[in-house]
Chain A
Amino acid sequence: MKQPSKEQFETWAREIRRSNRRAFDALFREVYPGMVRFAFRYLNNRAAAQDIVQDCFVALWKTRNRINENRSLKSYLYTMVRNRALNMLRDHSDLYVSHDTSLYHQDTAEPDIPDEDENGELQSKMNQWIDELPGRQKEAFQLSRFHGLDHDEIAEVMDVSPKTVNNHIVAALSSLRSRYEKHNSEVTNR
């Protein structure tokens, strides 16, 4: 995967700090889809996820002169999304009751992936398993697996040590593995 390099993020941070709109737009195009997916995992609501990410970018631009160039811009953005998502959950628990909607089920424009075959089944199962991981394991795993943050960046987002992040990720992998093995043996015995 061609994730934007660390240097790229550093350049964006520097240029945005200096009010370069081009850099701001380029950053947005690059990270918006991933950030919406990330927010969605908390809220299970597409519109709310999009709103939150928009708000983060508005805040980023308004406070651009305070961007800390020594801090990862990526973890800064994901921290903002996480905080806002958690606040929203707290303040509107009535609206965003966690229900059984995965990214997969919510999927609107994905003609490529067939619903019924094994792949589709694995996809929805895997989603379910990830959703059922303990909260912090789930967060660390997703940030690492789907958003390409390194352990230091995740540590910053979650406000824990990199070592703890690693423990969460390894634990998440083991737990997903046992779910997968169980599932496999069930499929074979069907």
Chain B
Amino acid sequence: MSDENKNPNKIPLPEGALEGVDSREQKSLREVWTLAGVAEPNHFVSPDETGDALEELHIRLGMEGKRALPTNKILGIGRWLAAAVALIVIGWAFFGISQSVTAPNGQQAEVYLADGSVVELNSGAEIRFNRLFGYTNRDITLSGEAYFHVASSSEPFRVYANGTVTEVTGTRFSIRSWPDDPEGKTNITVLEGEVRFYPESDPLKAVKLNKERTSIWQPGLDKPKDPEPANIETMTGWRDQKFIFYEQSLSEIFNEIERRFDVKIELQRSGVAGETLTGYYGEVGDSESLLEDICTVAGLNYAKTANGYRVY
């Protein structure tokens, strides 16, 4: 940001401030407003001083001045889960070999990428990218669900997920693309900016989505569905540890519970996996209270097992 942008002389008089004041008066008061700008020196605090102060602040807060990238931080879900770091680096060769970051079940991860972008991984999700990420490319492969806050750059940022590609330059969006999804669906939801979304096999079949729009692609579709208004909270509630599902099948919901709480759910009643449910939990107590609710609504029973539940 240039210093010019911080020039306090350029702040305009708020609209409506002189409402009710005589119009001749208004003119001279406006002039005084402009004139008063000389009083505040732009460079009272220099950028260097600001930088030094920030460093000092980092020290006081016990943060590192400069972080090695990428780094990641796991956010425990709720108080009862201890935070842990899960950085799995596959391959040690320097170039081209991909590295991956996984958020284990029961935890979420935040990944800071070399280009300044930030990715948040929902429990059980994984991203892969090669070591030249941020230098020669901004390509990421996603398995699962993640929220992207992409730093602006002319280099396109691409997310490959389950046969789809999402291409952007700088924006915020969320992708849901679980490998165990019954239909192989990939859902894209845009919070800000514009993205191009297309099947990996045919970039010409792209749809463009902007703010608060959503689209889906799954094998068998010629091109992604036409963008529709998105329910942002349903798609990104997991970031705030909420549990929200909107007309989702029981199997999808159970899959999500398994990942979020690191439990195993065995569905032993046949014919109900495809039934859909809608629910909203701003705060989730634990997996059992959630499951109890769902079973009540769906007319099912559950019993505890060694590592989770049996639903029948």
Contact = CB atoms under 8 A, between A and B. Distances in A.
A96 to B, nearest CB: 18
Contacts of B54: 25, 28-29, 32
A176 B10 CA distance: 18
Interface string A9-23: 000000100111110
A57 B149 CA distance: 24
A76 interface: no
A60 to B, nearest CB: 10
Interface residues of B, number: 48
A30 B6 CA distance: 8
Interface string B13-53: 01001100100000011011101111111011110001101
B17 A145 contact: no
Contacts of A151: 14, 17
A33 B116 contact: no
A126 B29 contact: no
A97 B255 CA distance: 66
Interface in B260-306: none
Contacts of A123: 38-39, 41
Contacts of B240: 18
A126 B239 CA distance: 50
Nearest to B48: A109
Interface in A166-184: 166, 169-170, 173-174, 176-177, 180
Contacts of B50: 28-29, 32-33
Interface of A: 1-3, 15, 18-22, 25, 28-30, 32-34, 36-37, 40, 50, 53-54, 57-58, 61-62, 102-104, 107, 109-110, 112-113, 119, 122-123, 126-127, 130, 141, 144-148, 150-151, 166, 169-170, 173-174, 176-177, 180
Question: Top 10 closest A-B pairs, CB basis?
Answer: A1-B10, A33-B45, A2-B5, A126-B39, A123-B38, A173-B29, A177-B32, A146-B8, A146-B40, A148-B11
Which among B14, B29, B110 has the highest number of chain A CB atoms within 10 Å?
Answer: B14
A34 B64 CA distance: 25
A119 B39 CA distance: 10
B40 A103 contact: yes
A104 B39 CA distance: 7
Given A58-B60, A145-B11, A37 B44 contact: yes
B63 A21 contact: yes
Contacts of B12: 1
A126 B37 CA distance: 9
Nearest to B67: A21
B73 A146 contact: no
A18 B116 CA distance: 17
A22 B64 CA distance: 12
A167 to B, nearest CB: 10
B57 interface: yes
Contacts of A1: 5-12
B226 interface: no
Which among A1, A150, A173 has the highest number of chain B CB atoms within 10 Å?
Answer: A173
Contact of A150 (B14, B45, B149): B14
B219 to A, nearest CB: 34
B5 to A, nearest CB: 4
A58 B61 CA distance: 7
Nearest to A178: B32
Given A53-B53, A130-B36, 16 more contacts: A1-B9, A1-B12, A20-B118, A29-B50, A30-B1, A32-B50, A33-B44, A54-B60, A58-B60, A103-B41, A113-B41, A123-B41, A144-B11, A145-B11, A147-B8, A176-B35
